[in-house]
């Protein structure tokens, strides 16, 4: 019996030695395999401590437990029932994406950062380091409900994840940052368009908390608003300005409101090329008809109609790209005045043609124009009749009338004669001047060659001095 027990113990010892050897061999081979892989991955450096120092495994408690989120009601603001919680704001404008005159709005992309303190999220830290989280933790704590007043559309960027950052410090201070694009209303005044300057603003305000619960302010004063280098196609940004104020609602009270104000000055060169220069050329082109033979009816009529239709097209194109406002814009004044000059040049030829017809009919009745008269041969180089083809009626000279008195001596009557060298002239009446133009219709073109350019030059001088 004793021999059997000793035999059994010896067999058990042998099995344990064999099993232990195999296990040791497996661990040895596994360490060699890990060592070779570590050598392949880390360039020959075998760091076993790196595998053991995974921060997500060494933490004794989770972030939610560290911040004691489950112990508090984060539906209530910090310090509920006490003084209003101060929330600092700073903004970095990344870009102004578009400005629409038709919709009267602008689109801006910016980084919106909030600063406040919530002692409920304070946590112990030996090295006083903050902890940074993404949007998953934001939904579980209290954050300010800041919104954009007069915004039409807005969204938080979500590529590749939501662009939200939450940083919590050990003393409970919080930094909450979002990247947002907002389209907001801008009340524009187009009375000086396109020589205008627009004043737009983006307004921030708490939606639920009035000034008794939340105090919204710029964290660093005027330095709270920072901008990158922004270049726009039609506008030049003069300056950005941060300001604050109060907004009153009859049902809820007073609210703190922050303003991001920026002034836009429009570039005029684009409109000079697209609107003003073509308009000037059309007006000048309409004056060419003053140098064309007044008997060349097809040439002058077609030129006048072409310039009128071109001006109508320019006016229609400008109006289509502008909002339908109820007041007159600066560009409207220029376009419609230029259109009036073009229209008057057509009316001028109608007057010239009518006066020429009356003149020829009168000469036909007087027999001044023979039946073999050729009008093309009777025209001068400037489109006027020759002097020998025009009848100019002279006004009779008025002889001085002297009253004679039988008692007056001849010496006294000789003293009453007009002084030698003086002439008496009778001024023409309006009717006589009109008759003169009718009888000499070429004079209308001659006067128009000077009157139209001088009038248009005077208009441009007044226009650009007023709106520049």
The predicted-structure confidence for 220-262, as pLDDT tens digits, reads as follows 988 899 988 888 988 999 889 999 999 999 999 999 999 999 9
Separation of alpha carbons 204 and 216, rounded Å = 9
Residue 276, token pair as written in the block:
């003003």
Q: Write the pLDDT tens digit of every residue in 154-194.
A: 999 998 899 999 999 999 999 999 999 999 999 999 999 99
Residue 188 sits at φ, ψ, to 5 deg, of: -100, 145
Tabulate helix, strand, coil % of the chain (nearest 5). Answer: 40, 25, 35
**Mean per-residue pLDDT of the chain:** 79
Q: Where are the alpha helices (DSSP H) in 42-105?
A: 49-52, 55-58, 63-66
The per-residue pLDDT for 291 is: 92
Separation of alpha carbons 147 and 214, rounded Å = 14
Q: Sort 91 into a burial class: Cβ within 10 Å, 0-12 / 13-18 / 19+.
A: buried
Tell me the pTM: 0.68
Q: Which fold has domain 67-265?
A: Acetylcholine Binding Protein; Chain: A, (2.70.170)
Q: Residue ranges per domain, the chain?
A: 67-265, 269-360
Residue 58 sits at φ, ψ, to 5 deg, of: -80, -20
- Do domains 67-265 and 269-360 share one topology? The answer is no
User: What is the DSSP code string of 301-350?
Assistant: HHHHHHHHHHHHHHHHHHHHTS---SS--HHHHHHHHHHHHHHHHHHHHH
User: What is the DSSP code string of 276-302?
Assistant: IHHHHHHHHHHGGGGGS-TT-HHHHHH
Residue environment code for 219-256, b if the CB has 16+ CB neighbours within 10 A, otherwise e? eeeeebbebeeeeeeebebeebebeeeeeeeeeeeebb
Residue 43 sits at φ, ψ, to 5 deg, of: 65, 40
Residue 163 sits at φ, ψ, to 5 deg, of: -80, 75
Q: Which fold has domain 269-360?
A: Methane Monooxygenase Hydroxylase; Chain G, domain 1 (1.20.58)
Residue 451, token pair as written in the block:
């009157």
Residue 304, token pair as written in the block:
């006048």
Q: Write the pLDDT tens digit of every residue in 7-46.
A: 555 555 554 554 454 444 444 444 444 344 444 444 444 4
The per-residue pLDDT for 190 is: 92
Low-confidence ranges of the chain (pLDDT < 70): 1-66, 367-440
Q: Which residue has the tokens 């009859």?
A: 250
């Amino acid at each position: 019996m004793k021999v059997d027990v000793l035999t059994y113990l010896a067999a058990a010892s042998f099995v344990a030695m064999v099993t232990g050897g195999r296990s040791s061999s497996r661990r040895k081979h596994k360490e060699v395999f890990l060592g070779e892989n570590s050598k392949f991955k880390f360039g020959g450096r075998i760091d076993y401590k790196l595998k053991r120092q995974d921060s997500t495994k060494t933490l004794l408690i989770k972030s939610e437990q560290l911040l004691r989120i489950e112990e508090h009601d984060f539906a209530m603001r910090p310090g509920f029932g006490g003084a209003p919680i101060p929330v600092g704001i700073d903004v970095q404008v990344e870009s102004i994406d578009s400005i629409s005159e038709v919709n009267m709005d602008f689109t801006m992309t910016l980084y919106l950062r909030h600063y406040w303190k919530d002692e409920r999220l304070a946590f112990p830290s030996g090295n006083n380091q903050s902890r940074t989280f993404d949007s998953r933790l934001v939904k579980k704590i209290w954050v300010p409900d800041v919104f954009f007043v007069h915004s039409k559309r807005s969204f938080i960027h979500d590529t590749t994840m939501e662009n939200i950052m939450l940083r919590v410090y050990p003393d409970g201070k919080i930094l909450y940052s979002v990247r947002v694009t907002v389209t907001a209303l801008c009340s524009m005044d187009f009375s000086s368009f396109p020589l205008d300057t627009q004043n737009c603003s983006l307004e921030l305000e708490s939606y639920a908390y009035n000034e008794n619960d939340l105090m919204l302010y710029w964290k660093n004063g005027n330095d709270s608003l920072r901008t990158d280098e922004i270049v726009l196609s039609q506008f030049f940004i003069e300056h950005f300005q941060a300001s604050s104020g109060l907004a009153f609602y009859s049902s809820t009270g007073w609210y703190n409101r922050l303003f991001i104000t920026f002034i836009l000055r429009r570039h005029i060169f684009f409109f000079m090329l697209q609107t003003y220069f073509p308009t000037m050329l059309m007006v000048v082109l309409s004056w060419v008809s003053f140098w064309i033979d007044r008997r060349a009816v097809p040439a002058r009529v077609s030129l006048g109609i072409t310039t009128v239709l071109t001006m109508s097209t320019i006016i229609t194109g400008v109006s289509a790209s502008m909002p339908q406002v109820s007041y007159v814009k600066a560009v409207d004044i220029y376009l419609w005045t230029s259109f009036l000059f073009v229209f008057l040049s057509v009316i001028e030829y109608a007057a010239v043609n009518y006066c020429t017809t009356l003149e020829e009919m009168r000469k036909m009745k007087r027999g001044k124009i023979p039946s073999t008269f050729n009008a093309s041969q009777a025209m001068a180089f400037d489109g006027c009749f020759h002097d020998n083809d025009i009848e100019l009626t002279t006004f009779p000279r008025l002889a001085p009338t002297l009253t004679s008195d039988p008692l007056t001596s001849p010496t006294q009557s000789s003293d009453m004669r007009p002084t030698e060298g003086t002439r008496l002239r009778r001024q023409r009446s309006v009717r006589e001047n009109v008759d003169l133009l009718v009888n000499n219709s070429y004079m209308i073109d001659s006067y128009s060659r000077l009157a139209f350019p001088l009038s248009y030059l005077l208009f441009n001088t007044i226009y650009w001095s007023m709106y520049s």
